[in-house]
Amino acid sequence: MESTIDVSLWRGKEDGHYQNYKVPLRTSQTVLDVVTWVQRNSDPTLSYRFTCRVGMCGSCAMTVNGRPRWTCRTHVSKVVVDGRVQIGPLANLPVIKDLACNMDAFFKKWQRAKGVFAPSKSKADPIEKIAPTSAQRCAADAAIECINCGVCYAACDTVRWDENYLGPAALNRAWTLVNDVRDSGNSGRLAAVAAEGGCHACHSHESCRQYCPNALNPTTSIAGLKRKTTLAYIRGDL
Ligand code: SF4
Ligand code: SF4
Ligand code: FES
């Protein structure tokens, strides 16, 4: 007889419910494979998101047994408990339907944190050489591999309590630009991240670092922003 697992999937919007499905167990099966199996074999109306299936795009993040994860990089064998797994939408974001969240607030906060490169030169200027070992380049490099998956945002207690809080991903992005010597937007950026709901609201408990699938450390980035904005304030620049 074929082995199966009991999969509990969120169905509907915020006021939805978990619904149970039996899914055949496969070797090296990922949580995303399980969701896809249900959509193809049990209920084609199931809504969810994915693109790359290899941990590159960040679109497949969901809550698996209570913890935010990339579902394409999570093997069922690692998370199944007593033959069961529960899969829901990411926390801290409105549910559109089933496993798909509305990411608008998440991306608007990137803009509010001025997480957009502001060039200091034009294409007519010579390309500036940046020493890969310079302290600022190393600080930017340490935080730059973010793929906007929202896992840290879903794990952050401060986002849960305060919907105005910019959150770990937007602040982490701002920190990479603060350290980019080619960027010219730092006065506005520091003011944006120092404002209410910015870096000083972070309580440094590191859920973002703990759950980031890319092993980034937004808490360290936010600590850098706290130092930088405090210094700017003392100098009268903020
Ligand atoms: S910091 Fe990590 S968890 Fe947060 S959005 Fe970027 S890649 Fe995802
Ligand atoms: S350390 Fe800060 S940003 Fe990270 S989860 Fe905690 S409150 Fe959120
Ligand atoms: S589908 Fe792209 S990271 Fe999972």
Contacts of 78 by beta carbon, 8 Å cutoff, 6+ apart: none
Q: How far is the CA of 2 from the centre of ligand 3 (A)?
A: 28
Which ligand approaches the C-alpha of residue 147 most closely?
1
* Residue type, position 79, single letter: V
> What is residue 144's predicted lDDT score, i.e. its pLDDT?
97
Q: How far is the CA of 178 from the centre of ligand 2 (A)?
A: 19
Does 207 sit in the ligand 2 pocket, CB within 6 Å? Answer: yes
> What is residue 128's predicted lDDT score, i.e. its pLDDT?
86
Does 218 sit in the ligand 2 pocket, CB within 6 Å? Answer: yes
Cβ–Cβ < 8 Å for 143, 218: yes
Q: Which two tokens stand for residue 172?
A: 């982490």
- The stretches of the chain forming alpha helices (DSSP H) are 31-41, 76-79, 104-112, 135-143, 151-155, 157-161, 168-178, 186-194, 207-211, 218-234
pTM for this entry: 0.96
Question: Rounded mean pLDDT of 81-97?
Answer: 97
Question: Rounded mean pLDDT of 207-217?
Answer: 98
Listed residue (192, 175, 176) closest to 108, CA to CA:
192
- The stretches of 127-185 forming alpha helices (DSSP H) are 135-143, 151-155, 157-161, 168-178
